[in-house]
């Protein structure tokens, strides 16, 4: 009996020695041992019940060792790669559609696709900063304007919860894809909602407003003399955008 009691005490002491406190983003704390983790989930053995509980990696704020120091969630006796809280690179794909107008002249529609590369997670925030290329088609009656925007972009969530409102802005230069007109300054602002699916992936639904500058070449004949001039155009577009963070 003494030998059995000694083994029970020894096992209990070993469990306590490896016990940690897992802090969730909700503020809840779970005392136990991390037995497995990957980029999607963290599995914890509860110190009190011995049962295993699975949490999304994005929901784990920190791990407290000895109830004092916070540390990164690390793999314990596992061949899985170590999880980090930052990413070296991320891709943001945005697909948009809406209405476009040249003030006091024409109205029509627009469609666009943007592919941006940057950082999706800076420090402890899901903050996207990057740049890239896109395509922007503007349809004004019988006329069509196509641009290739070269831009830098910023997307900022208001909170670090799974579901968060997000604000964005972009600026650059729209290269004209036709000889009939010239490109110019491009700028845009976004306001919408983003859902963090896992540490790597998020989706968003966003309202946007965009500005594209263009120059049109016009030819006028006066008394058999041909005059060529360039007229500036400011094209404004607004609509809805689907954003995919990869």
Is 15 a residue whose pLDDT tops 60? no
What is the number of domains present in the chain?
Answer: 2
| pLDDT of res. 162 | 81
Contacts of 120 (CB under 8 A, 6+ apart): 87, 90, 92, 126, 127, 128, 200, 202, 245
Question: Are 205 and 133 in the same domain?
Answer: yes
Contact status, residue 128 vs residue 99, Cβ threshold 8 Å: no
Question: Are 33 and 95 in the same domain?
Answer: no
Is 239 a residue whose pLDDT tops 90? yes
Q: What is the mean pLDDT of residues 165-187?
A: 90
Residue where a domain terminates, one of 39, 71, 103: 71
Question: Are 61 and 127 in the same domain?
Answer: no
Q: What is the mean pLDDT of residues 192-203?
A: 84
77 lies in some domain: no
173 lies in some domain: yes
Average pLDDT, the chain: 77
Q: How confident is the model at residue 72 (pLDDT cuts 50, 70, 90)?
A: very low
Question: Are 95 and 211 in the same domain?
Answer: yes
80 lies in some domain: no
Question: Are 127 and 38 in the same domain?
Answer: no
* Domain of 152, in residue numbers: 90-245
Q: What is the mean pLDDT of residues 138-165?
A: 87
In the sheet that holds 29-37, the strands lie side by side as: 52-56, 41-46, 29-37, 20-24, 60-65, 69-71
Task: State the first-to-last Cα distance of the chain, in angstroms, to the nearest integer.
Answer: 58
Q: pLDDT of 83-104, one tens digit each?
A: 344 446 788 999 999 999 888 8
Is 122 a residue whose pLDDT tops 80? no
Identify the weakest region by mean pLDDT among 37-41, 52-56, 163-167.
Answer: 37-41
Indicate which CATH number applies to the domain containing 25: 2.30.30.100
Question: Are 58 and 116 in the same domain?
Answer: no
Which pTM was predicted?
A: 0.60
84 lies in some domain: no
Question: Are 94 and 11 in the same domain?
Answer: no
Question: Are 177 and 225 in the same domain?
Answer: yes
Contact status, residue 93 vs residue 244, Cβ threshold 8 Å: yes
97 lies in some domain: yes
Is 214 a residue whose pLDDT tops 80? yes
3-state SS record for the chain? CHHHHHHHHHHHHHHHHHCEEEEECCCCEEEEEEEEECCCEEEEEECCCCCEEEEEHHHEEEEEECCCEEECCCCCCCCCCCCCCCCCCEEEEEEEEEEEEECCCEEEEEEEEEEEEEECCECCECCEEEEEEEEEEEEECCEEEEEEEEEEEEEEECCCCCEEEEEEEEEEEEEECCCCEECEEEEEEEEEEEEECCCCCEEEEEEEEEEEEEEEEEEEEECCEEEEEEEEEEEEEEEEEEEEEC
Question: Are 237 and 177 in the same domain?
Answer: yes
Is 17 a residue whose pLDDT tops 70? no
Strand partners, 64: 21, 70
| pLDDT of res. 169 | 93
156 lies in some domain: yes
Angle at 76 between CA 6 and CA 78, to 5 degrees: 115
Q: How confident is the model at residue 209 (pLDDT cuts 50, 70, 90)?
A: very high
224 lies in some domain: yes
Is 246 a residue whose pLDDT tops 90? no
Q: How many CA atoms lie within 13 A of 47 on its CB side?
A: 17
Share of the chain above pLDDT 90, in %: 26
| pLDDT of res. 103 | 83
Q: How confident is the model at residue 38 (pLDDT cuts 50, 70, 90)?
A: confident
| pLDDT of res. 116 | 92
Question: Are 120 and 204 in the same domain?
Answer: yes
Residue where a domain terminates, one of 19, 43, 71: 71
Question: Are 54 and 142 in the same domain?
Answer: no
Rounded to an integer, what distance in angstroms lies between the CA atom of residue 245 and that of residue 118? 10
Question: Are 65 and 110 in the same domain?
Answer: no
| pLDDT of res. 144 | 87
Rounded to an integer, what distance in angstroms lies between the CA atom of residue 118 and that of residue 154? 9
Is 167 a residue whose pLDDT tops 60? yes
How distant, in Å, are the alpha carbons of 87, 127, 142 from that of 208? Answer: 27, 18, 25
32 lies in some domain: yes
């Amino acid at each position: 009996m003494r030998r059995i009691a000694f083994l029970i005490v020894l096992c209990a002491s070993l469990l306590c020695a490896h016990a940690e406190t897992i802090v969730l983003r909700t503020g809840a704390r779970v005392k136990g041992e991390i037995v497995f983790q990957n980029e999607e989930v963290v599995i914890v053995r509860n110190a009190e019940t011995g049962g295993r509980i699975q949490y999304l990696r994005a929901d784990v704020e920190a791990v407290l060792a000895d109830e004092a120091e916070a540390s990164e969630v690390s793999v314990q006796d596992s061949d899985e790669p170590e999880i980090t809280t930052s990413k070296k690179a991320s891709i943001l794909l945005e697909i948009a559609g809406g209405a476009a107008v040249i003030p006091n002249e024409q109205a029509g529609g627009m469609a666009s696709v943007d592919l941006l590369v940057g950082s999706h997670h800076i420090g402890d925030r899901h903050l996207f900063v990057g740049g890239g290329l896109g395509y922007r088609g503007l349809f004004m009656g019988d006329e069509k304007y196509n641009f290739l925007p070269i831009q830098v972009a910023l997307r900022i969530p208001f909170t670090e919860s799974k579901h968060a409102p997000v604000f964005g802005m972009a600026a650059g230069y729209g290269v004209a894809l036709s000889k009939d007109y010239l490109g110019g300054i491009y700028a845009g602002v976004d306001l919408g909602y983003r859902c963090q699916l896992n540490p790597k992936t998020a989706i968003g639904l966003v309202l946007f407003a965009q500005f594209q500058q263009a120059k049109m070449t016009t030819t006028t004949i006066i008394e058999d003399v041909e005059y060529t001039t360039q007229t500036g155009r400011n094209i404004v577009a607004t609509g809805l955008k689907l954003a995919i963070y990869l």
